Amino acid sequence: MAVSRDFLDFVLEQLRNSGRVVSRRMFGGAGLYLDGLFFALVSDDQLYFKVGDANRPRYEEAGSRPFVPFPDKPERVMGYWQVPADVLEDPEVLRNWVREACAVALAARGRGRAKPGVHRARRKGTAGRAHQA
């Protein structure tokens, strides 16, 4: 799960009209947060948004694939799907996809999958570098 600085900078630039987006390095990739809400991740120079039942058909129709954190275990997917290149390149369209991803992330938070305002403690020496757009 690697991400190049150039690609991450490009993604953050494209997201700047969506609000205050901050990236945090994680496991070689990056997590993206909008006003503290984890809604996306970047891995292998691909952007993935949080997906649920409401917005999954849009990703499927676009030919997107789910994020697979362990290539040797393709059956273990996460609730994040690849953002199509044409969407990533259009900041106005991208902003709508961000809203949908944030709505899914908020709904998941409300179901107790994530606790608002609670952050996991970082081990000494492992703090990721935060970057904001």
In a domain, 97, yes or no: yes
In a domain, 130, yes or no: no
Task: Please give the tally of structural domains in the chain.
Answer: 1
Q: What pLDDT was estimated at residue 86?
A: 96
In a domain, 125, yes or no: no
In a domain, 129, yes or no: no
pLDDT (tens digit per residue) in 109-124: 876 544 444 333 333 4
Say what the pTM is: 0.78
For residues 125 and 98, what is the distance between their CA atoms, to the nearest angstrom? 32
Token pair 């900078």 in the structure block, residue: 9
Q: What is the CATH number of the domain that holds 47?
A: 3.30.1460.30
Range of the domain at 89: 5-111
In a domain, 56, yes or no: yes
In a domain, 51, yes or no: yes
pLDDT (tens digit per residue) in 74-111: 677 778 999 999 999 999 999 999 999 999 999 988 76
- Dihedrals phi, psi of 54, to nearest 5 degrees: -70, -35
pLDDT (tens digit per residue) in 62-71: 999 999 877 7
